[in-house]
Structure 1
Amino acid sequence: MEIFSTTTLLIIVCLIFLILSITRARKHQNKDRLPPGPTPLPFIGNILQLNGKEVFKSLNKVSRGVVASNGERWKQLRRFSLMTLRNFGMGKKSIEERIQEEAHFLTEEFRKTNSQPVDPTFYFSKAVSNVICSVVFGNRFEYEDKCFLQLLAFFNEIFRGFSSVWGQMYNVFPKVVGKIPGPHQKMFKAIDGILAFIAERVKIHRETLDPSSPRDFIDCFLLKMEQEKDVPHTEFHKEGILNTTFDLFGAGTETVSTTLRYGLLILLKHADVEECIHKEIDNVIGRNRAPCIEDRSRMPYLEAVIHEIQRFIDLIPMGIPHKVTRDVHFRGFIIPKDTTVYTMLSSVLRDPKQFKYPNEFNPGHFLDENGKFRRNEGYMPFSSGKRICLGEGLAKMELFLFFSTILQNFTLRSPVDPKDLDLTPLMSGFGNIPRPYELCFIPR
């Protein structure tokens, strides 16, 4: 009887606490005129209202989220990273030549498959990663390098992990979920593995550094660390170089390689689109020279296809978190200063006001009535504003040169009926991940 009374008392207390929390939340919402949204439950917030497989669709329904923050650290490291990447060729002829070289290595790897079905995942990861490796680490890796392959496997695990239900739970309850067993622990081990690799590269760079001739991003960061070693609260320290290099290496690998992988899957499904690209390549570039970035302005159809691939796959549907730097008046509501919000890129990329067939793949979204390329305000896969992806220029160059080089040399064939190919994502969390598939690269 005593146990029953204690249990009953606890239930009553919890119910009272729940009612008070809901009442307080509603009063607070009315007082501050926050944007409307579902009332959060104590401790767990709105986690029960999120669909684990398609979290971005759930967030579209429950309005904005409050997750992370930014500030002076982000400003300093972004400014330095952008300047350094530009110094090492981003957006210039030198980086174009690196991409062309890597595209050549990639096509040679595809030729070795002898037109047999292959999973393109790691082929693209190797090629794309080597482009950013040459900037960050000062060299590319051989495709069969075991250390390199392990590194790419780590990044693949992290990208999938953050898009899984466990990854989403970790974002909500990091202190709790981080300590319990589960599939997400593989993601943490992968992060540790990459950081250990970067730390080793930093050590080697420090031992061989020539201040008068920096070789790559790591060298430049080390020189900046030396310049600011006596500056209080500097952002250029050991942790800073590890994390910034991690971000550049990761972002420069998974996003572009996943877009290429998803793009070829779409072309397998739409053979008519691939045929039109082949005709444009033959007319503009031919078969006897490598594609160059100058060709892009003369190839409106391929440019439209690449833009439509990025729009359709909606790679990072929740975008990157933004921080409100002052109280913002929005549609009669107030978003308080320092609130972190997610701008749902999906709502723009699939906006029926901007795109006639928002849920279908249609290159016509970026072509005018004369077949010329046309821009669309709804195209923003790299986000927008001050936190727009700093590697946008590099990514666009890579996508054009890789797609054009592959399709100049090969015809794509699916070992299964194209009607059976599923273009819906395997996972839709932090990123939209395509379903596994195989294809044959038939030499043209």
Structure 2
Amino acid sequence: MDSIISVAGSYIDWDVKSLLLFTAIFILTADYIRSRRPHSFPPGPRAFPIVGNIFTVDYNRAHESMTQLAGKYGDVYSLRMGQEWMVVLNGFEAVKEALVNQGDSVVDRPYLPLQWDVGLGIVFSSGSTWTQQRRYALSTLKYFGLGKKSLEPVILDEFTYCAKDLIGYKGKLFDPQHIINNAVSNIICSLVFGHRFEYGDEKFVNLIKWFGKALQLQASIWAQLHNSFPLLMRRLPGPHQTVLHIWNNVKDFIRVQIKEHRQNWDPSDQKDFIDCYLNEIEMNKGQADSTFDETILVHCLLDLFVAGSETTATTLRWAFLYMAKYPEIQAKVQAEIDRVIGQSRQPSMEDRVNLPYTDAVLHEVQRMGNIVPLSLPHATNRDIQLGGYTIPKGVIIIPNLTSVLFDKKEWKTPNTFNPGHFLNEEGKFVKRAAFIPFSAGKRVCLGENLARMELFLFFTSFMQHFTFSMPAGVKPAMDYCFGMTLAPCPYEICTISR
């Protein structure tokens, strides 16, 4: 009897093993058949079963990793992230062909579960939501001065607040991140919230301090795992949960602002973006095709708040580092500003044409700073041809802006800080087609005009009044922290009043 039970047990044991083996083989075979590269699809590195190329990319330097892969697989190559295919575009010509020449075909954003869990506003939405919200945001922000001369005093007044704090350090080492983030954030806050925040406002300071952390995590392997295996990752702890926690705190902050506007709202006196949007909600009630509601408002304000704060502040922090690294360039900028503007008045956007070297230096900071190294992902809404390959509908497109801003075919010394990239032989400023730090096509950055104005007025004002340097014998560290934005690692610097 015992021997019969033993034999039966061994059969059951082998049946379980066989079942597990069969299941594993079935899953791997099905994964291979389902996820193999389609015919005429771009080449790329070999993908592992289930996870694809998730572990192919170095997420501490993904922009460099993806640029290096182009050297092996070409300017148009593919990666499989989990079960999703993405195509990475490298070099100015490939990026231009997709975003500009075939812009209508790649205007959508892909479905990214982590971003959907945060919420969709303007930046990551598609279709009618994106069309309505972007058009409305642009027209309303222009009404309140976006890209107009009327916004100049707001920016220059904010510089005055910022300068007082810098003077207070009396040339001692300090970390400029808090002051610069606060100053830049106050510009978009004045447009959307109707007021600025004091630099000592602890809640506001903590809020914008976490922007960089969230953007860093959203470009990490944890975010990629969440997007590839959302059902599993939503139930697991980890840094991807920190992203959601940070953005939920930001949305709570925004909801308080909306609530205060609701309490004091006067439809006949619209002072800022929120006032106007609340009016738009009331006007569109009952319309089936309307995308205007308070939930969307929260997500749109999140997009405007973060986009209007992080990228410009990060660019200025890079500018300080480059000026400290190249004091001879800083001195030349200051000499031009002294000659054109002097010390008796504030700069104006009208001065830009007469400050070609200053403008060139600022553009070179943006190029070398490479603030949004992989742009934001697009998605094909129909089958298209790119680089001789067929890209099916629904594939994620990654425009590698790093490969454009450092394209050897477009820049004389791509890896060297050289303001001459934006100057002709007569010393006049020249535009460069491959200068696309704000991306290109229909999805070009919504706040490009605001960012350009802020960068010029802030940078010129800083150079007019201060000299940035490191202590004797100390060289600026140009290390970066990779994320959706490429920020300098935290540093300390000296500012001396001129």
What is the RMSD of the two structures over their aligned residues, measured on CA atoms? 2.1
1: CA distance, partners of 2:256 / 2:231? 28
**Deviating more after overlay: 35-44 vs 389-398:** 35-44
SS in 2 for 1:83: helix
**Does residue 491 of structure 2 align to residue 437 of structure 1?**
yes
Bigger-Rg structure (1/2): 2
SS in 1 for 2:496: strand
What's 1:55 paired with? 62
**Deviating more after overlay: 92-101 vs 156-165:** 156-165
User: Does the 8 Å CA contact 1:115/1:441 hold for their aligned counterparts?
Assistant: yes
SS in 2 for 1:342: strand
Alpha-carbon distance change, 398 to 192 in structure 1, aligned in 2, over 3 angstroms:
same
**Does residue 437 of structure 2 align to residue 422 of structure 1?**
no
Shift of 1:418: 4.5
Alpha-carbon distance change, 429 to 146 in structure 1, aligned in 2, over 3 angstroms:
closer
User: Does the 8 Å CA contact 1:52/1:168 hold for their aligned counterparts?
Assistant: no
SS in 2 for 1:411: strand
Q: Deviations over 1:364-400 (max 9, x none)?
A: 1111122111111110000000000111011011001
Shift of 1:24: 4.8
User: Does the 8 Å CA contact 1:56/1:429 hold for their aligned counterparts?
Assistant: no
SS in 2 for 1:234: coil
**Does residue 11 of structure 2 align to residue 29 of structure 1?**
no
**Deviating more after overlay: 173-182 vs 260-269:** 173-182
1:262 to 314, 318, 330: 318
**Does residue 320 of structure 2 align to residue 299 of structure 1?**
no
Q: Deviations over 1:69-95 (max 9, x none)?
A: 722211111011001110000011211
What's 2:115 paired with? none
Shift of 1:317: 1.1
Equivalent position amino acid for 1:322 in 2: H
Q: Deviations over 1:208-261 (max 9, x none)?
A: 111112111111111111111111252111210000001001100011001111
2: CA distance, partners of 1:417 / 1:229? 65
SS in 2 for 1:442: strand
Shift of 1:12: 5.3
2: CA distance, partners of 1:264 / 1:177? 40
2:300 to 244, 255, 259: 244
Q: Deviations over 1:395-434 (max 9, x none)?
A: 0110011111111111111136353x33231x22322121
1: CA distance, partners of 2:272 / 2:487? 31
User: Does the 8 Å CA contact 2:374/2:402 hold for their aligned counterparts?
Assistant: yes
Runs of 4+ aligned structure 1 residues displaced above 4 Å come to: 1-5, 64-67
1:210 to 262, 266, 288: 266
**Deviating more after overlay: 101-110 vs 410-419:** 410-419
1: CA distance, partners of 2:327 / 2:21? 61
Q: Deviations over 1:37-76 (max 9, x none)?
A: 3354443232121212122334442536544372221111
Gaps of 5+ in 1: none
SS in 1 for 2:424: coil
What's 2:235 paired with? 179
**Does residue 427 of structure 2 align to residue 371 of structure 1?**
yes
2: CA distance, partners of 1:205 / 1:14? 57
2: CA distance, partners of 1:114 / 1:315? 30
Alpha-carbon distance change, 211 to 272 in structure 1, aligned in 2, over 3 angstroms:
same
1: CA distance, partners of 2:314 / 2:386? 35
1:38 to 32, 45, 52: 45
Equivalent position amino acid for 2:478 in 1: L
SS in 2 for 1:383: coil
**Deviating more after overlay: 286-295 vs 184-193:** 184-193
**Deviating more after overlay: 178-187 vs 306-315:** 178-187
What's 2:92 paired with? none
Q: Deviations over 1:113-141 (max 9, x none)?
A: 11111001011110000000000000111
User: Does the 8 Å CA contact 2:216/2:482 hold for their aligned counterparts?
Assistant: no
**Deviating more after overlay: 40-49 vs 251-260:** 40-49
Shift of 1:5: 6.6
After superposition, residues 90-129 of structure 1 pair within 5 angstroms as 90-129=146-185
User: Does the 8 Å CA contact 1:268/1:414 hold for their aligned counterparts?
Assistant: yes
1:360 to 391, 416, 425: 416
Shift of 1:8: 6.2
SS in 1 for 2:462: helix
User: Does the 8 Å CA contact 1:53/1:165 hold for their aligned counterparts?
Assistant: no
Q: Deviations over 1:142-184 (max 9, x none)?
A: 1111222122123233223224443443343344334322234
Shift of 1:16: 4.9
Alpha-carbon distance change, 168 to 57 in structure 1, aligned in 2, over 3 angstroms:
farther
**Does residue 404 of structure 2 align to residue 348 of structure 1?**
yes
1: CA distance, partners of 2:341 / 2:413? 31
2: CA distance, partners of 1:36 / 1:131? 45
**Does residue 131 of structure 2 align to residue 75 of structure 1?**
yes
Alpha-carbon distance change, 163 to 339 in structure 1, aligned in 2, over 3 angstroms:
closer
SS in 1 for 2:28: helix
User: Does the 8 Å CA contact 2:28/2:50 hold for their aligned counterparts?
Assistant: no
Shift of 1:270: 1.2
After superposition, residues 380-395 of structure 1 pair within 5 angstroms as 380-395=436-451
1: CA distance, partners of 2:253 / 2:472? 39
What's 2:202 paired with? 146
1: CA distance, partners of 2:373 / 2:294? 32
